[in-house]
Amino acid sequence: MEPLDLLAHPRRFLGGATIIGAVVLGLYSFGLEKQMTAGAWLAIPTAILALLGLQTEKTGRGWLYLLIAWAFGLMAYGAVFPDRF
């Protein structure tokens, strides 16, 4: 797969970016207090749902998984940075 193929398939690009963002946010949240915080716990289903959205063959189901992953990601972001909402 070429790098420009990711732009032709936005679900793959956004799914990969969501997985990377969830992992970074989870590691950052874990590093703040050296224990599993709410942000770290919410980053786990974000990454899993984004991976499901990335791998599924049906387009509608893939986008639904990504939308739910983004909802979990927003909640995780709000748990890590409560003053920014």
pLDDT confidence tier of residue 8, bands split at 50, 70 and 90: low
User: What are the tens digits of pLDDT across the range 32-45?
Assistant: 888 888 999 999 99
pLDDT in tens, 9-26: 788 889 999 999 999 999
Which among 7, 19, 10 is positioned nearest to 51, based on CA atoms? 19
For the chain, the structural domain boundaries read 34-85
What is this structure's pTM?
Answer: 0.86
